[in-house]
Structure 1
Amino acid sequence: MAEVQQNDGGGKGKGHQKKMQIRVDFTPMVDMNMLLITFFMLCTTMIKSQTLTIALPSNEKVQNEENMSQASADDAVTIILDAKRKTGSFDVDTVNGKVQPIIYYYFGKPGGDAGILGPGGTVLSENNNIQESEFLANDEKSGKARGIREIIQQRNKDVLTEINKLKEKYASGGFGSLETKDGREKAQMAYDEAASKIRKDENLKKPVIIIKSTPQASFGSLVSVLDEMQINSISKYQIDNMTKADSLMVIDFQNRHHK
């Protein structure tokens, strides 16, 4: 509250001007501030930090750590993430400021059994087994898998065939009733356990996917490929660094096809 005090300064006479002093009491403002703080604390929605959780295969049961990054040539699939380049140039191509992703892949070893390098370290283009793929997941009209998803599904078809059987069994109530919440939760747990056994079944042929990226690749393309690992029930995959052979294969492919 404000309080006005008059003070004549001890002066006398008709012409002497009286002075007024105004004092504002801010004590009630303390209560108001506490009420406002309490209001905002109760009404504010707490936003959790949004982070990306990447679920990678566990290596707890690996007995020989030296063989963790090794895979047979028949099972190995290497995916290289890159950005599209302008025609006749190695400059990155962008649309509305966004990098256009592209994927290269090859099966087995770089250059196959013969290798990618010839005498003097020259690249043997005839041995270059790298291929280019679209970054599309499904065809808009048919809904069938395209691009890198189609390639992954072809290599993992044995596992996906068994997983699809489980999905049909789940939908028909084979894992329990889906009419109640408890029933759905129990059925989902039974399905997850059965699907996990299929992904770990060593009798089924399954690929080992190695994911690599060039410096030009976007982080979003890496996230998309990791999503494909989950969507297509890939149990063995890893993120690795580019090798000299990988870089030479990509450059050789671009020189021969993107002029």
Structure 2
Amino acid sequence: MAEIQQKGGDSGKGGKKRAKKMSTKIDMTPMVDLAFLLLTFFMLTTTFAKPNVMQLTMPVKDKKPNPDEQTKIKASQAVTIILAPDNKVFYYFGLNEPTDKSVPVPEIKVTDFSANGIRKVLLDRQKQQPEPIILIEPYVFDGKQAKYKNMVDILDEMNITNQKKYALVDISKKDVDLIKTQKLL
């Protein structure tokens, strides 16, 4: 607590009496205790920022996948997005698996991750086809591969554009050949 300490009397000589100088000493212990109590109180009563993560539901992996049980996709609903090296995004509408020769080979278009890039493509496709199915294929071939950041970016775009159905699939040999024939890489 605060106390007042007194110094000894006068110098012993006669003369004018002076007022005694008093010094004060303040004990800081209660203030430090209060500060730590407040600090502890606020630390325990606040909520910490929760990590912002996107929930992904992954299917159960079968030991031996049966090709007959795989989900069939209509070509009219499909949009294939290929994540390419150098932050490029290739896309085409439909599937690159024509069952007959009369179906033309799809034309790959190039875009990027900007707001006027793949987001605009997805939103426009959603207006044309209310429930599109997006196939996301990361490019991994000839020592070149898409970056992990691009995968995160495209999943963010799926969330932003409110896509209901999308799948991460391995790139097919036909898609690699299609990219090479159109000389995009």
TM range (shorter): 0.5 to 0.7
Q: Percent identity, please.
A: 28
Deviation of the 1:115 alpha carbon:
8.2
| Structure 1 stretches lacking a partner, 5+ long | 1-41, 60-64, 85-100, 117-125, 138-145, 159-203
Which residue matches 1:217?
Answer: 146
TM-score (norm 1): 0.42
Which residue matches 2:64?
Answer: none
Which residue matches 1:165?
Answer: none
Match of 1:75 among 74, 77, 81: 77
Rounded Cα–Cα distance in structure 1 between residues aligned with 2:126 and 2:150:
21
Question: Structure 2 matches for 1:177-192, cutoff 5 A?
Answer: none
Rounded Cα–Cα distance in structure 1 between residues aligned with 2:114 and 2:152:
14
Matched residue count: 133
Secondary structure (helix, strand or coil) at the match of 1:73 reads: coil
Rounded Cα–Cα distance in structure 2 between residues aligned with 1:115 and 1:81:
28
Question: Structure 2 matches for 1:244-259, cutoff 5 A?
Answer: 244-254=173-183
Question: Structure 2 matches for 1:1-259, cutoff 5 A?
Answer: 52-56=53-57, 66-68=69-71, 70-84=72-86, 101-110=87-96, 114=101, 127-137=105-115, 146-157=116-127, 205-215=130-140, 216-254=145-183
1:155–1:206 Cα contact (<8 Å) kept: no
Higher relative contact order (CA 8 A, sep 6+): 1
Rounded Cα–Cα distance in structure 2 between residues aligned with 1:244 and 1:231:
30
Change (3 A) 1:217 1:66: same
Rounded Cα–Cα distance in structure 2 between residues aligned with 1:57 and 1:235:
14
Secondary structure (helix, strand or coil) at the match of 2:96 reads: coil
Q: Which has the larger radius of gyration?
A: 2
Deviation of the 1:52 alpha carbon:
4.9
Rounded Cα–Cα distance in structure 1 between residues aligned with 2:126 and 2:130:
7
Rounded Cα–Cα distance in structure 2 between residues aligned with 1:109 and 1:73:
5
- Please give the root-mean-square deviation of Cα atoms over the aligned residues, in Å: 3.7
Rounded Cα–Cα distance in structure 2 between residues aligned with 1:207 and 1:241:
19
Rounded Cα–Cα distance in structure 2 between residues aligned with 1:115 and 1:210:
23
1:134–1:148 Cα contact (<8 Å) kept: yes
Rounded Cα–Cα distance in structure 1 between residues aligned with 2:77 and 2:164:
12
Secondary structure (helix, strand or coil) at the match of 2:120 reads: helix
CA deviation string 1:41-80 (max 9, x = no partner):
x78xxx9996954434889xxxxx9243x21000000100
Rounded Cα–Cα distance in structure 1 between residues aligned with 2:97 and 2:173:
12
CA deviation string 1:126-183 (max 9, x = no partner):
835222112212xxxxxxxx1111110011127xxxxxxxxxxxxxxxxxxxxxxxxx
